[in-house]
Amino acid sequence: MKSKPDFAATFEKLKAILKPYAEKLIVTADTNENYMLDVNHVMKNKHRLFFAGVRVGKAYVSFHLMPVYACPELLDDMSAELKRRMQGKSCFNFTSPDEKLFKELAQVTKKGFSKFTSRKFYQQF
């Protein structure tokens, strides 16, 4: 039996994964349905590099994590269960909280933060 969608709780739990990084990054959106973080690095197009965000949509709560797109090796150790939640190259969709997958997603986010805030990462641009 499929669980009933709980977008508000899902959003808050996914946002909690990103909150520890807020003081080191730039919060570009912080509402009840949209929370976005950018890194301090300004790209050639004069925009800051997007790091991650959570957004409530019509069918899912989406967790966007740009490091998995820019550093695909972050996917190497990811469980098949979490990979099934992916849509596109950097988006994970959920309808209700999943503690096991959220814990894994928090670890991937931590690794992604290390990559996106390292000097070595920006030297390639």
CATH number at residue 33: 3.90.1150
Q: 11 in a domain, yes or no?
A: yes
Per the structure, the complete domain to which residue 63 belongs is given by 7-123
Distance CA 102, CA 28 (A): 22
Distance CA 13, CA 99 (A): 9
Q: 84 in a domain, yes or no?
A: yes
For residues 46-55, one letter each, b for 16 or more C-beta atoms within 10 angstroms of the residue's C-beta and e for the rest, the string is: eebbbbbbbb
Q: Of 103, 11, 6, 116, give the one whose Cα is nearest residue 54.
A: 11
pLDDT in tens, the chain (125 residues): 455 679 999 999 999 999 999 999 999 999 999 999 998 866 666 777 899 999 999 999 999 999 999 999 999 999 999 999 999 999 999 999 999 999 999 999 999 999 888 766 665 55
* pTM across the whole model: 0.90
Q: 2 in a domain, yes or no?
A: no
Q: 51 in a domain, yes or no?
A: yes
Q: Which residues pair with 54 in a beta bridge?
A: 35, 63
Q: 1 in a domain, yes or no?
A: no
How many domains in the chain? Answer: 1
